[in-house]
Amino acid sequence: MIEGVKHIVAVASGKGGVGKSTVTVNLALAMAAEGYRVGILDADIHGPSQAQMLGVGEGVRPVAAGENRMHPLEAHGLQAMSMAFMVDTREPMVWRGPMVAGAFQQLLTQTLWDELDFLFIDMPPGTGDIQLTLAQKVPVDGAVIVTTPQDIALLDARKGIEMFRKVKVPVLGVVENMSLHVCSSCGHAEPIFGAGGGERIASEYETRVLGRLPLALSIREQVDGGRPTVVAEPDGEVTATFRDMARQVAEQVAGQEDAGPSISFSD
């Protein structure tokens, strides 16, 4: 177990650009709105985005907590840790795989998490070093897969699901992002990236669609501005969707506890 953390949920995608970080931060905020103590770990070492999404100013650094330990930063009621809190985010992280995996482990284990019910890990896209380190070294309770409905994204989402299956991490469900665009002028709704993709993949892998999110300018503007939708529009439709997803995640994780330990990890 990670000290100070009850449950760990990984949010992953097979490819970049599907809105995984936006989903992660809003899902974490929704879980906090449901009354849980929640943290978020930005595991995307090369391209951390949670600092901006949470409105943490550039140059803000974690406070040391004795030797080799640090306190997470607080933002919108979440405990947060990211590589962006350690380095100048304008400088590229020109690191090889083992260094990246090592940095991820340090962020996870050297952060003094304070009695979290849920820690959400915003994974980098793909199925590489960090994903393997997570699976082998961390007791993950489940994974949420983010995809867009188009075929090429679904192809990569399948790889993500297969990877978690191989390492015995339960897939809690699929989030279909950018599933419908509603014209701000006339109100016409159109599935720009296709329709029904999340459903197909969920039935194929015997998991569920946790929710569908629209392709909306406001969602993008809110995370870019450091006030994600769940904070910016607590009574809005999109927030209601995220809170429903959070409840489903909490229920499934609790259900696993009742069923007894069934997750095994191997090197």
Closest CA to 2 of 95, 87, 104: 104
Average pLDDT over residues 153-169: 85
Can you read off the two tokens belonging to residue 163?
């990877």
- What's the confidence (pLDDT) of residue 42? 92
Instruction: Give the start-to-end residue ranges of the domains of the chain.
Output: 5-259
Given a contact cutoff of 8 angstroms between Cβ atoms, the answer to whether 201 and 158 are in contact is yes
Q: Give ∠ CA 9-243-122 in degrees, rounded to 5.
A: 30
Highest mean pLDDT among 5-14, 89-98, 250-259: 5-14
- What's the confidence (pLDDT) of residue 264? 44
Q: Which CA distances in Å does 48 have to 44, 63, 74, 152, 189? A: 5, 19, 17, 24, 32
Strands 189-190 and 181-182: what pairing? antiparallel
219 burial level (CB within 10 Å; 0-12, 13-18, 19+): buried
Average pLDDT over residues 238-248: 97
Q: DSSP code of 91?
A: S
- What's the confidence (pLDDT) of residue 262? 44
Choose the weakest-confidence range: 68-72, 135-139, 149-153.
149-153
- Band of pLDDT at residue 258, cut at 50, 70 and 90: low
pLDDT by residue (tens digit) across 10-37?
999 877 778 899 999 999 999 999 999 9
- In words, the CATH class of domain 5-259 is alpha beta
pLDDT by residue (tens digit) across 104-146?
888 888 999 999 999 999 988 777 778 777 777 788 999 999 9
